[in-house]
Amino acid sequence: MIQQYWLYLIYLLGSVFFIVGLKMLSGPKTARNGNFLAAAGMAIAILGTIFMHTNEDGEPIGNYGWIFGGIAIGTVVGWISAKKVKMTDMPQMVSLFNGMGGACAALISLVEFGHLHDDASPATVLTIVAGLVIGSVSFSGSIIAYAKLQEIMKKTFRLPAQNILTLVLLIATLGLTVYIALGHPSAVLLYTVFALSLAYGVLFVLPIGGADMPVVISLLNSFTGVAAAFGGFLYDNQVMLTGGILVGSAGTLLTILMCNAMNRSLTNVIFGSFGGGSAAAAGGGSA
């Protein structure tokens, strides 16, 4: 029990480091130290979880080989790719890493869905499925944003009736999410939602032009934050909740600030040429 309280203390410290780090990141003189501070908060939160976390039955974390193996692979690949990327290619790198975080949240939901008991409350199911949906949208959207900025995908695609199609997809995804939560937790439906969310992420980003991509990445960034926060709800994990929501709210504000800096509105960026392609094209060109 006392070990769990230590972990709570570590999570509290980690959360404070995140907040102070984020604050320092928004000032030019303190930004670099703020980044270090946030990284330190992350490190203690991760180490604390590995060595002190126990589940509801009081069982400690196991499978150390898998965990350290995964962390080692992720660290080496992440470090090298972050160090090697050209300065001009950094936005798409951020997008790619953001997509990884979204995919991570989605995978967590997939596994936890398999662990659900029959008596699981709708709220728990909703938490899991919402994490899956937001994480998947963030993942597929980020990958498209990456592909566009990296110029793997050069053209701006626009399907016929794009906005209507996207809207229908969104409504279908949300409707099915609620349906599953209200007592129909079948794996088939879950994978359908998974596929719909991935498709939504793709359709959401496809029509947006390259110049607006940083705004979209920032928006997807805040999505992943929210997905992480759902994980926090699922595990009663305070640091995941604080970290996730901080990014969710700060990221949303940042998205709006970025739009303002470009003299555009968020709806204008997202729905682009809704009803008038020329205005959006002109805006995108000048930004």
Question: What are the structure tokens assigned to 45, written together?
Answer: 């939160």
Q: Quick one: 53 exposed, middle or buried, by C-beta within 10 A (0-12, 13-18, 19+)? A: middle
**Which residue from 25, 44, 147, 281 is in contact with another protein, where contact means CB under 8 A?**
25
**What is the smallest separation between the CB atom of 72 and another protein, expressed in angstroms?**
8
By C-beta, is 169 or 220 nearer to another protein?
220
By C-beta, is 111 or 278 nearer to another protein?
111
**What is the smallest separation between the CB atom of 74 and another protein, expressed in angstroms?**
3
Report the site for another protein in 73-112 (rule: CB under 8 A): 73-75, 77-79, 81-83, 85, 87, 90-91, 93-94, 96-98, 100-101, 103-105, 107-108, 110-112
Q: Which residue's structure tokens are 């936890």?
A: 112
Pick the closest to residue 112 from 54, 184, 187, 188 (CA basis): 187
| 246-277 CB burial, b ≥16 within 10 A, e <16 | bbbebbbebbeebbeebebeeebbbbbbeeee
Residue 178 to residue 122: CA distance in whole angstroms: 9
**What is the smallest separation between the CB atom of 90 and another protein, expressed in angstroms?**
6
**Which residue from 9, 31, 164, 167 is in contact with another protein, where contact means CB under 8 A?**
31
Report the site for another protein in 36-75 (rule: CB under 8 A): 36, 38-39, 42, 45-46, 49-50, 53, 55, 59-63, 66-67, 69-71, 73-75
Please state whether 51 falls in left (phi above 0), alpha (psi between -120 and 50) or beta: alpha
Pick the closest to residue 103 from 66, 146, 42 (CA basis): 146
Report the site for another protein in 120-159 (rule: CB under 8 A): 121-123
Which range of residues in 146-154, 155-163, 200-208, 215-223 is near another protein by CB under 8 A? 215-223
Please state whether 58 falls in left (phi above 0), alpha (psi between -120 and 50) or beta: left
**What is the smallest separation between the CB atom of 189 and another protein, expressed in angstroms?**
17
Question: What are the structure tokens assigned to 4, written together?
Answer: 């769990």
**What is the smallest separation between the CB atom of 165 and another protein, expressed in angstroms?**
29
**Number of chain positions touching another protein (CB under 8 A):** 103
CB neighbour list of residue 77: distance below 8 Å, 6 or more residues apart: none
Report the site for another protein in 220-279 (rule: CB under 8 A): 221-222, 224-225, 227-229, 231-251, 253-254, 257-258, 261
CB neighbour list of residue 271: distance below 8 Å, 6 or more residues apart: 163
By C-beta, is 76 or 168 nearer to another protein?
76
